Structure 1
Amino acid sequence: MVVKALILGAGYGTRLQRDLESNSSYHHLLGVPKALLPLGGRDCLITHWLDRLTASGFSKTDDIYVVTNEASIKDFYLWAERHDIPSDHIINDGTTSNASRLGAVPDILFGIDAMAANTNDDLSVLVLGGDTLFLHDFDLDQFLAQKQKGACLVTTYTVETNQVHKFGIVETDHQGIIRSFLEKPSPDQTESRLACPCFYLLDSAAIPLVRGFLSDCKTKQLGLEHYDATGKALAYLYPRIPLHTHTISGRIDVGGLQSYIDANDYFAKK
């Protein structure tokens, strides 16, 4: 099994940009994509993922890709140059604004198609949200070792009842295989408290299904909000391919300024 990593960095971080504009202490970060924010002693948020990936055997020159947009492509090229990532592994989706963005799921497929052009192998893809990090105790090697052929693997962690409505929540069977996905449900809609972040190891058999999800969205004339949420794609996938789960202790998302400050403080401690 060949596994390559695709980091999602094509969003425009509009909420964070608004927060930065209103706080002069952080004006130097205006226009910086969330994935490239300096964080916890590293030059960029995604450099933390780069460290983990290379420690687990991913090759900088062969296995790690980033999908971004036209507005940020030059900044990602500079990051890639600093870290010896080939420039053709920085994939430009061609969009120039939040209003014209493709959406998260189309960007995943856009990146996968670019990867596939560089390999003839049976390709599995580890999709990582470029604005998300896991806590220090996360073990990528253990996660990868759990992957089974013909199945996908995702992560879950437990959230408090009063936080359920903020997350995509999965329900699993006794083997930890997803049996239902609920997008930001109220707590009384499910007994599950398992959130599922954007960190998916997609089996090669899932890639045509992702394509099918987008085709279904187009046929039904569904709007951007349907395919900009990666959890919607999981809801389409789980009846069609096994989605196994791997438990983690938690995650840190960079959404607004305060979450960035909190993430920076957390990762600066180690």
Structure 2
Amino acid sequence: MKAMILGAGKGTRVRPITHDIPKPMIPLVRKPVMEYIVALLKQHGVTQIMVNTSHLAPVIEDYFRDGEQFGVQMAYSYEGSFVDGVATGCPLGSAGGMKKIQDFSGFFDETFVVVCGDAWIDLDLTEALRIHREKQAIVSIIIREVPPEEVFKYGVVKLDDDGRILQFQEKPAPEQAVSNMANTGIYIFEPEVLDYIPSATEYDIGGQLFPALASAGKAFYGIALPFQWLDIGNVQDVWTVTRSILEGEVHGFRMPGREIRPGVHTGINVSVDFDQVEITPPVYIGGSTQIQPGVKLVGPLVIGANCVVESGALLKDCIVEDYTRVSGLAHLEGKIVFGNKCIDPMDDTVIDIQAADIGFVLDDVRNAVKPHDTAQEIAALMRADPPNHK
């Protein structure tokens, strides 16, 4: 069976994280969200997966390569152009990306699945396919109920008693929505649907294709099944989903590493003396990370691989990504440290670590660590002159 993962979006609502990685590569406790999607597809018999890419395409392609290590075959369709050897992304829209693949090779020659690459799901895809075929649909979308005040985030549908979609609205205002049954970004298509998509032009599944199919009265159905759907639509969702995973609210999610103490999971080669470090679960610590004596860790907390957390540091309710050095001066609560940014996911404030000149508090461990003067460091934080000791 064949599938496509939509991975070409710019992820504007998840900036600044998506300045460095494309949205499908956002990690959920060490693994990119797209890796969980690939595993789900494989579980339900998908063996060939196409991925459309554009923004930071090599990050996706270099990680998944041909898919062999994940037990599937994978290939990529880049949306953009090359000028003087420089790639410039130009997404074709979700439907336009499908059409480009079909025009190139005729890849979609049987019932196929399309999934957005930015959500953790545990859908019974086999059951969804059974219902799709039973209805003799040309398109089925997996739908679920959302709070009425949140319909503006999603496409919503109006159904008849048999589940046929009579109307599709893309991200309507709450007062104009025909329902609160939302599109989850999981689709089942028959190849004939590609005849409704123009070639070589930007064309969107939710904004253009689905409204057209509904208006034309095609065999277009909504399927409502019970499943967990953890959508990563913005920076706050990154933290909310991670927190839910750590607190055990996501049933069936397998924590990586091993549980060395109740609620404390680690990768291999972690350096930590539990008699000298105060840990309040749930906490995950990535492989080859050093937690020095005198550190306080309060969950929910994720510390990535190859990090160093120095004596005196406090980390509470945080996500700290790989290769981060956290100095003993750092007392961080409710923050995401990603690349050279320190982000508050609740109010979207961002500190550029380099621009703020606070590399002595947070830095990349691969940078050379220079000897430091504590008074100078504190003065920099306070934006004051250091004391003159005589």
- Which TM bucket (shorter chain)? 0.7 to 0.9
AA of the residue aligned to 1:165: F
Question: Does residue 217 of structure 2 align to residue 237 of structure 1?
Answer: no
Equivalent-residue separation in structure 2 for 1:164 and 1:15 (angstroms): 17
AA of the residue aligned to 2:49: I
Among 36, 48, 53, the residue aligned to 2:41: 53
Partner of 1:23: none
Partner of 1:83: 70
Equivalent-residue separation in structure 1 for 2:242 and 2:98 (angstroms): 27
1:40 Cα deviation from its structure 2 partner: 3.8
Aligned partners of 2:120 and 2:230 also within 8 Å: yes
Going from structure 1 to structure 2, the CA distance change for 1:150 and 1:204 (only over 3 Å counts) comes to farther
Question: Does residue 149 of structure 2 align to residue 162 of structure 1?
Answer: yes
Aligned partners of 2:42 and 2:72 also within 8 Å: no
Aligned partners of 1:4 and 1:124 also within 8 Å: yes
| Structure 2: unaligned runs, 5 residues or longer | 82-86, 254-390
Equivalent-residue separation in structure 2 for 1:189 and 1:75 (angstroms): 38
Among 167, 170, 184, the residue aligned to 1:180: 167
Q: Counterpart of 1:169 in 2: which secondary structure?
A: strand
Among 2, 5, 9, the residue aligned to 2:3: 5
Q: Provide the alpha-carbon RMSD of the alignment.
A: 2.7
Equivalent-residue separation in structure 2 for 1:191 and 1:102 (angstroms): 28
1:139 Cα deviation from its structure 2 partner: 1.3
Question: Does residue 28 of structure 2 align to residue 39 of structure 1?
Answer: yes
Question: Does residue 58 of structure 2 align to residue 68 of structure 1?
Answer: no
Partner of 1:26: none
1:104 Cα deviation from its structure 2 partner: 2.3
Going from structure 1 to structure 2, the CA distance change for 1:150 and 1:176 (only over 3 Å counts) comes to closer
1:48 Cα deviation from its structure 2 partner: 0.9
Aligned partners of 1:8 and 1:67 also within 8 Å: yes
Going from structure 1 to structure 2, the CA distance change for 1:90 and 1:158 (only over 3 Å counts) comes to same
Equivalent-residue separation in structure 2 for 1:204 and 1:255 (angstroms): 29
Partner of 1:111: 101
Q: Which has the higher strand share?
A: 2
Question: Does residue 145 of structure 2 align to residue 145 of structure 1?
Answer: no
Equivalent-residue separation in structure 2 for 1:164 and 1:74 (angstroms): 32
Question: Does residue 128 of structure 2 align to residue 128 of structure 1?
Answer: no
Equivalent-residue separation in structure 2 for 1:14 and 1:190 (angstroms): 24
Q: Which has the higher helix share?
A: 1
Partner of 2:379: none
| Structure 1: unaligned runs, 5 residues or longer | 21-28, 219-223
1:78 Cα deviation from its structure 2 partner: 2.7
Partner of 1:253: 231
Question: Does residue 172 of structure 2 align to residue 195 of structure 1?
Answer: no
1:195 Cα deviation from its structure 2 partner: 0.8
What is the CA deviation profile of residues 49-99 of structure 1, one whole-angstrom value per residue up to 9, with x for unaligned ones? 11111111112xxx2111112732354233235435546x1221235556x
AA of the residue aligned to 1:79: F
What is the CA deviation profile of residues 13-48 of structure 1, one whole-angstrom value per residue up to 9, with x for unaligned ones? 233223x4xxxxxxxx7511111122145x211111
Partner of 1:221: none
Q: TM-score, normalised by structure 2?
A: 0.54
What is the CA deviation profile of residues 165-212 of structure 1, one whole-angstrom value per residue up to 9, with x for unaligned ones? 33211000000000011222233434521111221111122110123x
Q: TM-score, normalised by structure 1?
A: 0.76
Aligned partners of 2:91 and 2:97 also within 8 Å: no
Q: Counterpart of 1:145 in 2: which secondary structure?
A: helix
Aligned partners of 1:178 and 1:244 also within 8 Å: yes
Task: Report which stretch shifted further, 45-54 or 250-259.
Answer: 250-259
Aligned partners of 1:169 and 1:183 also within 8 Å: yes
Partner of 2:79: 93
1:242 Cα deviation from its structure 2 partner: 0.8
AA of the residue aligned to 2:6: L
Segments of 4+ moved more than 6 angstroms: none
Percent same amino acid among aligned pairs? 23
AA of the residue aligned to 2:13: R
Aligned partners of 1:164 and 1:185 also within 8 Å: yes
Q: Counterpart of 1:147 in 2: which secondary structure?
A: helix
Going from structure 1 to structure 2, the CA distance change for 1:185 and 1:14 (only over 3 Å counts) comes to closer
Partner of 2:15: 17
Equivalent-residue separation in structure 1 for 2:116 and 2:187 (angstroms): 9
Equivalent-residue separation in structure 1 for 2:245 and 2:225 (angstroms): 17
AA of the residue aligned to 1:246: I
Equivalent-residue separation in structure 1 for 2:9 and 2:205 (angstroms): 12
Aligned partners of 1:9 and 1:68 also within 8 Å: yes
Equivalent-residue separation in structure 2 for 1:186 and 1:78 (angstroms): 38
Aligned length: 237
